[in-house]
Structure 1
Amino acid sequence: MGQTPDDMFGDENHPAYTIGQAAEMLNTKQDFLRRLDEAKLINPHRSTGGHRRYSRYQLRLAARVREMVDQGLALDAACRIVILEDQLEEALRQNRNQQQGARRRD
């Protein structure tokens, strides 16, 4: 069963944006987004026609890299920093969830 519009709009991982829309939202060129794919920062969903589709989550990562690149950081370094920040945020989230679960059991 497919997602309803309410499910899709609430899902930050839903691939809702074309590469053109994403580039416009980030005020960048489509090539920048392709380079992020090549750098393995984001792996956009592919439509049945092979077109890239981006989620809000992916656009947030891309925006953060764009910010760093605009400040003079090399693209590969910016991607690595964003990946590490994202991994740290996820680890902290999991840790908080485990601690909350442990407190409920006590």
Structure 2
Amino acid sequence: MPRPETGHRFDDDDYPAYTVGAAAEMVGATPSFLRALGQARLIEPLRSEGGHRRYSRYQLKLAARARELVDEGTPIESACRIIILEDQLEEALRINEELRAADPPS
């Protein structure tokens, strides 16, 4: 019997693979810190069928950055706003680079 293809999930940064406990441990924070990031709308965990929070690697990357900023004394709401702006800038730069590569100067 063929096995379901699950290998792609390991490569997917957006796949919600981590429970709140595992995510908190990986980030070096508490589950309440992760919930606070959700309340500040930095990350919104997906829910398992049982209603448990699940986090992706991408969300953990953002949470780890938030933890760095908070550890440096930045209020959590400000840290979340900084990270959102950093993420938007990174995306804009990526799109700009793609557009430049697609339409080289003559």
Tell me the equivalent position of 2:20: 19
Tell me the equivalent position of 2:50: 49
Question: What do residues 39-73 of structure 1 show as CA deviations (whole Å, max 9, x unaligned)?
Answer: 00001111111111000000000000000000111
User: Which aligned segments of 4 or more residues in structure 1 are displaced greater than 4 angstroms?
Assistant: none
Equivalent pairs counted in the alignment come to: 103
| SS across alignment from 1:97 | helix
Deviation for aligned residue 1:5: 2.5
Unaligned runs of 5+ in 2: none
Q: Percent identity?
A: 55
Tell me how far apart the structure 2 counterparts of residues 68 and 4 of structure 1 sit (CA, whole Å): 38
Tell me how far apart the structure 2 counterparts of residues 83 and 7 of structure 1 sit (CA, whole Å): 27
1:57-96 alignment runs, 5 A limit: 57-96=58-97
User: What RMSD, in angstroms, separates the aligned Cα atoms of the two structures?
Assistant: 1.5
Deviation for aligned residue 1:23: 0.4
Question: What do residues 83-104 of structure 1 show as CA deviations (whole Å, max 9, x unaligned)?
Answer: 000000001101111111112x
Tell me how far apart the structure 2 counterparts of residues 102 and 30 of structure 1 sit (CA, whole Å): 46
Answer 1 or 2: which has greater helix percent: 1
Tell me the equivalent position of 2:34: 33
Tell me how far apart the structure 2 counterparts of residues 68 and 27 of structure 1 sit (CA, whole Å): 13
Deviation for aligned residue 1:4: 2.7
Tell me how far apart the structure 1 counterparts of residues 14 and 26 of structure 2 sit (CA, whole Å): 17
